[in-house]
Amino acid sequence: MRALMRRGVGWDDGVVVFVPREEVRDERAERALDALRKIVEGLVGGGLREVELEVGDLVSAVSAVRSTVLSYGASEVYGSLGGGMRALVVEVLLGLLMLEGVRVYVDIDLESGRGYVSVPLHVFKAPRRERWASILRLLEAGEGVRGVAAKTGLSPATVSREVREMRAFGLVDDELRVTEAGLLYLRVHSS
């Protein structure tokens, strides 16, 4: 519920909750699900879509998560992983990692309730390329395509092509600014 409020949700958005089969849910989980239903019902035209997963059957659960999310045709997905069964959380995370051509952001609430960690999963799917890291560093320093080309020895056409690929992973925006995801990519691949 915190993630819905934090990220905001519109009438045309889709909201999905992945749950274990009813017979393995406890009373606390049922109360939380009922509360979520009531909140989403007034915010989203399609209401809450509940997808039961066969927790413990990794293949079917991951496949169900992937196919459910793909059925919406969204280019960006925001997920919240928290509470609940560890196996369910891992299966949802793996299903989200399996998505191609979709930018996926996952929020993980801290146990203290005093914050969260937001993870752009698509960054971890971006290929590790030293060329990309060099281009990102130069773009971060304020260089444009021609400046990057001059400093790297690449042609402007090659730099443009590489930037276009990086943009697909959300590493660079349309104005050639390095995004937070791009900065994360640099830090992850520099260590």
Q: pLDDT at position 69, please? A: 95
CA 51, CA 70: separation in Å to the nearest integer? 14
Q: pLDDT at position 1, please? A: 66
Q: Pick out the chain residues at pLDDT < 50.
A: none
Identical fold between 2-123 and 126-190: no
Distance (Å) of CA 158 to CA 50, 100, 183, 186: 45, 24, 21, 20
Architecture of domain 2-123: 3-Layer(aba) Sandwich (3.40)
Q: pLDDT at position 191, please? A: 61
Q: pLDDT at position 4, please? A: 77
The yes/no answer on whether domain 126-190 falls in CATH 3.30.465.10 is no
The predicted model scores a pTM of 0.80
Q: What are the residues whose beta carbons fall under 8 Å from the beta carbon of 99, sequence distance 6 or more? A: 66, 69, 70, 77
Three-state SS at 106: strand
Q: Where are the domains of the chain?
A: 2-123, 126-190
